[in-house]
Amino acid sequence: MMFCPKCKCIMMPKASGKKTVLACSCGHVHEANVSFTEQTKKRKEIEVIEERESLPIIEQECPKCHHKKAFFWSKQTRAADEPETRFFKCEECKHTWRDYK
């Protein structure tokens, strides 16, 4: 990496005929023998063994399967002067429903 002696910006590689030079956006060119190596990033993969909900669980009956526990979260879906909407997701069947109270 090289910085421009005029404006102190990073100089970028630029093809100039058959050779590569470092050029700055201000117009300054560094014509020394410049060689670049291409670096490749190794892709890291993570195996997901088990997905878990990170939401709190409360006692709420599912209207679909009648399971007694559900995940819970709330969100402001209407005007700020109205109460927030509560969402539930059944722990068993994953059915999602909302409560507007």
Which of 53, 82, 84, 92 is catalytic? The answer is 82
34-50 burial, b at 16+ Cβ within 10 Å, e below that, comes to eeeeeeeeeeeeeeeee
50 belongs to the catalytic site:
no
Q: Which two tokens stand for residue 34?
A: 């410049």
CA 90 distance to own-chain centroid: 27
End-to-end CA distance of the chain: 60
82 belongs to the catalytic site:
yes
Q: Which of 79, 68, 72 is nearest to 97 (CA)?
A: 72
Cite the active site residues.
Answer: 81-82
